[in-house]
Amino acid sequence: MDHIVQEKANLWLQGEYDEVTKEAIRQLFAHNQKELEDSFYRNLEFGTGGLRGLMGVGTNRMNKYTVGMATQGFANYLKQVFSGDIRVAIAHDSRNNSRFFADTTAQVFAANGIYVYLFEDLRPTPELSFAIRELGCQGGVVCTASHNPKEYNGYKAYWNDGSQLVAPHDKNVIKEVEKIEGVSQVKWTGGEHLISSLGKEMDERYTQMVKSLSVYPEIVARYRDLKIVYTPIHGSGIRLVPKVLKEFGFTNIHLVKEQEEPNGNFPTVAYPNPEESEAMHLGLNLAQQIDADILCGTDPDADRLAIGVKDTAGNWVLLNGNQTAVLAFNYLLEARKEKGIAKPNDMVITTIVTTPLIDVVAKENGVSCYRVLTGFKWIADLIREKELSENYIIGGEESFGLMIGDKIRDKDGVSAVALLCEMAAYEKSKGRSLYQKLIDLSVHHGFYLEELLSITRKGKEGQQEIAAMMNGFRTNPPTTIAGSAVIQVLDYEAQVGKDLTNGQSWSLTLPRSNVLQFVLADSSVISARPSGTEPKIKFYFSVRENLKEASQFEEIKKHLQQRIKNYREALNL
């Protein structure tokens, strides 16, 4: 066994840890030394978004002690930056131990003299972002691992504008967390009187904010019986999504009963991720059974969503995150213009791995479109930079996330469900389905198709393998892929772009990030990026072809899917 692992495990056996934890470590020593190594070979990284990892004992796991030390470091930094009373808001989702981690976080903050608003029960992550702004908090935390498998949990840290941490605070908080060398440096108890409960009053304020995002309430009133199927996939969305839909005016809402109750074991799915068709299959079955107009699903902390619609043959299909984003962006820009409420300084924001069709739609509507790194903290950061001069409308990315309006600063599956249902009603008033609207956009602007390939590599060896893959692409980038020349390589880690046709290079202005993009001669774009929250490396494919008429949609779709398949094979993926 690695002597460092053995030394760290022994420190836990001899330190101020509870007996249950120590017995679990003894069992790993006796029966599962590989698991022991993975539990202690490193400290669970407090990244720029916080913690996320497997639950269990050890320095590389989510447990009371890693959460407590992270909170102590965050508390220390808040006290350095802010004087006077400091307030934080804390929320959690339906995951196993999420409430325990939220309580632990609250107790440590309070023991440090920080006033805590703790939600009384599970709530969607976007409501936390909203509450931070509403209550004038200096920070916040939500305990969730988003859409990861049931064995995971996490800890997302927020700043005073309701967004996740960005520079300089992200790196500075990390430094403070890394200074906490052991549990003896954590203040665990003593401030319980500083903890107060958040509940229905904040729910109502949040619900009214979401209601204010409606562009066409009169169309919703006309189509209030729109047949909506919704699944929270055992998560926190059940607390607010049905309420918000009713507040919008919709009356015909059907819940997927098997997935209605919050349950951290996620008994009906392997992964509680609405991106996965397996997680949405019960919703698809119900939508088909009742001949619904739209199917919506949110992940456990309800910050991302997926939708299902009927295709031209009447079959139920799930739209990918790019298609959903395009529909939402286009609806808000077109509807605001049609309603006469568009402003000359309107802007939208997306990310470097999201479909280029969003840029085209924005340009068509005379709206500025900006691209940032993956993650809604970067969208929030750009809003902060431009909010005095430009009017933010919507932001979104391919990973099934939308952020509508500027009252929150993180992705919001609750408001996205409401907006997409309003959009379905709007298209129904025009005699179209959402799928037909997508085809119309493809005829008008060109057929863009995107696919995501995620490759999972777990543990210490997996982390090394992912690093080796990125290093291989970075040091020996392909010059052709499936017969198409690579004309540009964009390396966001080195912050350099290079034109392979003439050898010219230029600086990339976005912050450093471990992302590589290959731009091909046929206008395709292939991106590679290790996930910041999961043991995965992700490959994003974006291809385009002209679509002369709607009847060719399925045929062209097959051509584009084959092109992506060719790229994958050429890259040995």
Residues forming the active site:
146
Q: What is the 3-state secondary structure (H, E, C) of 130-158?
A: HHHHHCCCCEEEEECCCCCCCCEEEEEEE
CB 56 within 8 A of CB 25: no
User: Model confidence at 460, in pLDDT bands (50, 70, 90)?
Assistant: confident
| Mean pLDDT of the region 261-281 | 95
The average pLDDT across 321-341 equals: 97
Is 447-570 the same fold as 206-213+224-445?
A: no
- Across the chain, mean pLDDT equals 95
Helix then strand then coil, % of the chain, to nearest 5:
45, 20, 35
Q: Each residue of 468-491: pLDDT tens digit?
A: 999 999 999 999 999 999 999 999
CATH number of 206-213+224-445: 3.40.120.10
For the segment 460-469, the average pLDDT, to the nearest whole number, is 88
Mean of pLDDT values over 88-92: 98
Q: What is the mean pLDDT of residues 303-308?
A: 97
Average pLDDT over residues 167-181: 92
pLDDT at residue 531 is higher than 90:
no
Residue 1: what pLDDT?
66
- Say what the pLDDT of residue 286 is: 98
Domain boundaries, the chain: 42-198, 206-213+224-445, 447-570
CB 458 within 8 A of CB 149: no
Q: Is the pLDDT of residue 534 over 80?
A: no
What pLDDT is attached to residue 461?
Answer: 84
Residue 167 or residue 190, greater confidence: 190
Q: Residue 418: pLDDT above 80?
A: yes
CATH code, 447-570: 3.30.310
Give the alpha-carbon dihedral of 454, 457, 463, 469, to 10 degrees.
-60
Q: What is the mean pLDDT of residues 338-362?
A: 97
Predicted pLDDT at 405? 96
Q: How far is CA 396 from CA 33, 170, 321, 393, in A?
A: 43, 22, 9, 11
What's the CATH architecture for 42-198? 3-Layer(aba) Sandwich (3.40)
Query: pLDDT confidence of 245, banded at 50, 70, 90?
Result: very high
pTM here is: 0.94
In terms of C-beta distances under 8 Å and separation of at least 24 residues, what long-range contacts does 502-511 make, across chains too?
Answer: 510/352, 510/372, 510/373, 511/167, 511/373, 511/378
- Which pLDDT band, with edges at 50, 70 and 90, does 167 fall under? confident
Percent of the chain with pLDDT over 90: 93
